[in-house]
Amino acid sequence: MKNIFFIIISICIYCTSNAQVKRFIYEYITVPDSTDVANKEINIMYLDMTQKGSGFFDGQKYISDSTLVSMAKKNQFIMPPKDSKFIDYRIIKEHPSYKLTFLVSTYNKRLSVTDLRKQIWHIEKITDKYKGFNVQKAITDFAGRRWIAWFTADIPIPDGPYKFYGLPGLILKLEDTIGSHKFNLTGIKNNIPDYNNYPVVNTRSPQIEISQEKYIEIYKEYRRDPAKDYRIEVMKGNIFDSQDDNGNIKTPQQKLRDHEILLKNKLKKDNNIIELDLLK
| Domain layout of the chain by residue ranges | 2-197, 225-279
Q: Averaged over 95-118, what is the pLDDT? A: 90
Residue 167 near residue 35 (C-beta atoms within 8 A): no
What is the tens place of the pLDDT at every residue in 144-195? Answer: 999 999 999 999 999 999 999 999 999 999 999 999 999 999 999 998 877 6
Average pLDDT over residues 202-216: 86
- pLDDT over 80 at 253, yes or no: yes
Res 8: pLDDT? 42
**Among 38-47, 49-58, 83-92, 131-140, which is the least confidently predicted range?**
83-92
Best CA proximity match to 55, nearest among 68, 64, 46, 67: 46
SS3 state of residue 272: coil
pLDDT tens figures, 5-47:
444 444 444 434 445 899 999 999 999 999 999 999 999 999 9
Specify the pTM: 0.87
- In this prediction, what percent of the chain has a pLDDT beyond 90? 71
Flag the least confident range among 16-25, 26-35, 111-120, 127-136.
Answer: 16-25
Region 130-143: mean pLDDT is 98
Would you say residue 91 has pLDDT above 60?
A: yes
Rounded to the nearest integer, the mean pLDDT of the chain is: 87
Whether residue 72 is predicted with pLDDT greater than 60 in this model: the reply is no
Contact between 160 and 45 under an 8 Å Cβ cutoff? The reply is: no
Could you give the percent of the chain with pLDDT greater than 70? 81
Q: Which CATH class is domain 2-197?
A: mainly beta
Please give the pLDDT value at position 193. Answer: 75
Q: Tell how strand 133-142 and strand 145-152 pair up.
A: antiparallel
* Confidence at residue 2, expressed as pLDDT on a 0 to 100 scale: 45
| 138-154 burial code (b ≥16 CB/10 A, e <16) | bebebbebebbbbbbeb
Residue 267 is predicted with a pLDDT of 96
Q: What is the mean pLDDT of residues 241-260?
A: 92
Rounded CA separation 171/156 (Å) = 10
CB neighbourhood size of 76 (10 A): 9
Looking at residue 107, its pLDDT comes to 62
